[in-house]
A = this chain, B = another copy of it.
Amino acid sequence: MITEAHCIQLDQNDELAHLRQQFALPPQTIYLDGNSLGAQPHAALEQAQHIIRQEWGTDLIKSWNQAGWFNRPLSIGNELAPLIGAHPNEVAVTDSTSVNLFKGAAAALHMQRSQNATAQRRVIVTERSNFPTDIYILEGLKHFLNDGYELRLVDHPEHIHQAIDTDVALVVLTHVNYRTGYMLDMAAISAHAHQQGALILWDLCHSAGAVPIDLHAAQADLAIGCTYKYLNGGPGSPAFIWVPEKHQAQFTQPLTGWWAHQSPFEMQPSFQDSGDIRAALCGTQPIISLSLVSSGLAVFKQTSMAKIRTKSLALTDLFIQLIEERCADHPLHLETPREHAQRGSQVSIAHPHGYAVIQALIERGVIGDYREPHIMRFGFTPLYTSFQDVWQAVAILKDVLDNQKYDTNLEKNAVT
């Protein structure tokens, strides 16, 4: 049986433990929701004050050049690139995940039509359990193109391979499932998609900053993701889009705003594609929210994704083991794979009264969240989660379950 003393010992041996000091975490709170909204780096507050006072308040319009505002989607993209195995000038931090998926999927279908003029590939493959916005955006694109495209929704991760055949133009998959934490084999699925002549776009919302990613090694075609979960960029901070150099010359997307123009300040009356990563941009970006992504990324520069992964697996293993040891009498069902290769950095557990139980935990300072149906989701962010946090969270969960301290009459509220 694992003891609290053992968990404290794990913290003492944890070489990432000192990074927790760089985050503002509320007292009496065990925050296991960094997979939804990452904690606030102290540096973000100082950075925001500087941008507002100096760059906006004092330097005003000059900051577009002088402070590098205009280039910030690409300069922050370059800061993010090493975390996902991207090369310099392949990542733009801009717009939302949904908008970037629209751009990327539209560009991929355009590439397919250009490269295979005679082919009639009209199938887009994704998972039915993908985060809904991914499916919705593909539906919107399909209607908009009005050219015979259909969505093929896969019902289980093990059926993905067989769903990708020679009718498929594009595969859109989320690397780590938002609900279950199931991690797909990016390299194997990408290789299979290419064998079938399909392009593949990866959504990294639940894996960027959570697990090591090497997009080039996996031979992915395009990727998108958010910066406000494990990357700690702040609420709704702009998302990213990865366009590898091999595809940049062919990358053309419908949202051709002036930031994607070859020479935006010549104010020409016709669009000329930049031909580089800027082709993934559209319009003017929210500079304050965008800039704070840097404060989140700065913490990652002090360690490595390999070390983060080691601690992440240790945290999720510990959580699973403690629940099995201490809450065995309750109807809990582990939704997250036990195999390390199939696990992201979250653990999802179903309970018949999952919504009520998670509310009871939140009231007691253990912040997880709820996802339909019945799923309690706990995110483990190695930069600021301790092993003792895991012990305490399970102790509180055990108390809530053992003593039925949850209200099954609770109405569901919007929870993101």
Spell out A's residues near B (CB within 8 Å): 24, 26, 29, 31, 33, 36-37, 39-40, 44-45, 48-49, 51-53, 55-65, 69-70, 95-99, 102, 106, 128, 131-133, 135-137, 139-141, 143-147, 153, 179, 226, 228, 234-239, 253-261, 264-271, 282-290, 292, 362, 367, 369, 371-372, 412-416
Contacts and interface: CB of A to CB of B under 8 A. Distances in A.
A349 to B, nearest CB: 17
A140 B139 CA distance: 19
Contact of A267 (B48, B132, B253): B132
Contacts of A40: 52-53, 56-57
A60 B33 CA distance: 9
A235 B140 contact: no
Complex copy number for this chain: 2
Contacts of A256: 136-137, 139-140
B24 A139 contact: no
Nearest to A373: B267
A132 B269 contact: yes
Nearest to A265: B414
Of A26, A153, A237, A289, chain B has the most CB atoms within 10 Å of the CB of A289
Contact of A31 (B60, B65, B137): B60
A416 B98 contact: no
A392 to B, nearest CB: 17
A287 B44 CA distance: 14
A3 B106 CA distance: 60
Nearest to A379: B61
A367 B61 contact: yes
Contacts of A69: 235-236
A155 to B, nearest CB: 10
Nearest to A238: B286
Contacts of A24: 53, 57-58
Contact of A269 (B65, B135, B236): B135
Given A26-B59, A266-B372, A286-B288, 10 more contacts: A33-B61, A48-B52, A95-B283, A99-B99, A132-B258, A136-B257, A140-B254, A144-B144, A228-B284, A234-B287
Of A145, A238, A270, A288, chain B has the most CB atoms within 10 Å of the CB of A288
A257 B99 contact: yes
Contacts of A270: 135-136, 139
Contact of A235 (B55, B102, B269): B55
Contact of A288 (B235, B261, B362): B235
Given A98-B257, A99-B255, A137-B255, A290 B57 contact: no
A287 B255 CA distance: 22
Contacts of A98: 255, 257-259, 282-284
A410 to B, nearest CB: 14
16 contacts: A33-B60, A48-B48, A60-B367, A64-B415, A70-B416, A98-B258, A132-B268, A135-B270, A135-B271, A136-B271, A137-B257, A146-B147, A234-B287, A235-B288, A286-B289, A289-B290
A254 B285 contact: no
Nearest to A100: B283
Contacts of A414: 64-65, 70, 264-265
B60 A39 contact: yes
Nearest to A135: B269
A285 B290 CA distance: 11
Contacts of A237: 286
A319 to B, nearest CB: 18
A237 B283 CA distance: 11
B236 A284 contact: yes
Contacts of A179: 267
A65 B44 CA distance: 22
Given A65-B414, A140-B271, A236 B60 contact: no
Nearest to A233: B286
A27 B288 CA distance: 23
